[in-house]
């Protein structure tokens, strides 16, 4: 089965900073990659699918890129409400494995 | 609006069984694959199982294969997770989640709506 990794495992940045999170698949998954945001005590929320397509209603400061094995989630200008853990998930075929998550805090 | 409401969580003894339910509304349930995803306390998300829109195809994570069974009843707009031979490591919040529209196969594989989750604690 394909394994998913994320880096860093956590980060702390200032409001307004650009933040990037990397997700890597152990084998190519084409562009079948989704990103989720989970705020503390809340249910995960879909941000991006198809590696780069923004889900309806998601702020445009979020963007995704990549294909194959290497993917990036970027937040162009970090806001206090973006404090959360971010997960990638591959969905080229089952099992639909999640990455271990990246926790984002405000410095 | 789409709603997914899980039930059936609680305390289960090691080696025993528990059945979770997820009642869906706000969309044409029989058109969508449905998933279970779990999250141990303080830890990350783990995908558990999927059932196709027609109920004929399913797939399980290795960690639950042979112990858990996913099923659906389209007349009740409900998906189930029958959990057997429970282990301590099955302790988690269990979420049901739906496939998004637009998939062309038996299921899509990512999740546009999630339920609020139900906590399963395996302990003697």
For B:92-111, CB contacts with A below 8 A are 95, 100, 107-111
Token pair, residue A107, equals 């410095």
* Residue whose token pair is 């999250």: B39
* Interface touch B61/A95, C-beta < 8 Å: yes
When pLDDT is cut at 50, 70 and 90, the band that residue A2 belongs to is very high
Element (H or E) spanning A79, and its range? none
Over the stretch A25-63, which tens digit does the pLDDT of each residue have? Answer: 999 999 999 999 999 999 999 999 999 999 999 999 999
pLDDT, average across residues A16-24:
98
Over the stretch B22-64, which tens digit does the pLDDT of each residue have? Answer: 999 999 999 999 999 999 999 999 999 999 999 999 999 999 9
As to burial, measured by CB atoms within 10 angstroms (0-12 exposed, 13-18 middle, 19+ buried), residue B88 is exposed
Q: What is the Cα–Cα distance from B62 to B66, expressed in whole angstroms?
A: 9
Main-chain dihedrals φ then ψ at residue B30, nearest 5 degrees: -70, -5
Over the stretch B67-113, which tens digit does the pLDDT of each residue have? Answer: 999 999 999 999 999 999 999 999 999 999 999 988 778 888 999 99
Over the stretch A68-102, which tens digit does the pLDDT of each residue have? Answer: 999 999 999 999 999 999 999 999 999 999 999 99
Closest residue in A to B43 (Cα–Cα): A100
Q: What angle do CA B43, A98, A37 make, to 5 degrees?
A: 70
* Interface touch B117/A100, C-beta < 8 Å: no
Which residues of B are less than 8 Å from A45 in CB distance? 114
């Amino acid at each position: 089965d394909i394994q998913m990794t994320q880096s860093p495992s956590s980060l702390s940045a200032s409001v307004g900073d650009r933040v990037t999170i990397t997700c890597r698949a152990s084998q190519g998954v084409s562009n079948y990659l989704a990103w989720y945001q989970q705020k503390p005590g809340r249910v995960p929320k879909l941000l991006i699918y198809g590696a780069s397509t923004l889900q309806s209603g998601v702020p445009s400061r979020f963007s995704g890129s990549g294909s194959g094995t290497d993917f990036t989630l970027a937040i162009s200008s970090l806001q206090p409400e973006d404090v959360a853990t971010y997960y990638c998930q591959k969905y080229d075929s089952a099992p639909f494995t999640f990455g271990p998550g990246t926790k984002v805090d405000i410095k | 609006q789409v709603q997914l409401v899980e039930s059936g969580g609680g305390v289960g003894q090691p080696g025993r069984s528990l059945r979770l339910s997820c009642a869906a509304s706000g969309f044409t349930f029989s058109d969508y694959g449905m998933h279970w995803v779990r999250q141990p306390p303080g830890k990350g998300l783990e995908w558990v199982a999927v059932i196709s829109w027609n109920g004929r195809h399913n797939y399980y994570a290795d960690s639950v294969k042979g112990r858990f069974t996913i099923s659906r009843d389209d007349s009740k707009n409900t998906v189930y997770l029958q959990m057997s031979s429970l282990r301590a490591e099955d302790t988690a919040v269990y979420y049901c989640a739906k496939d998004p529209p637009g998939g062309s196969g038996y299921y899509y594989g990512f999740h546009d709506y999630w339920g609020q989750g139900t906590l399963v604690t395996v302990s003697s």
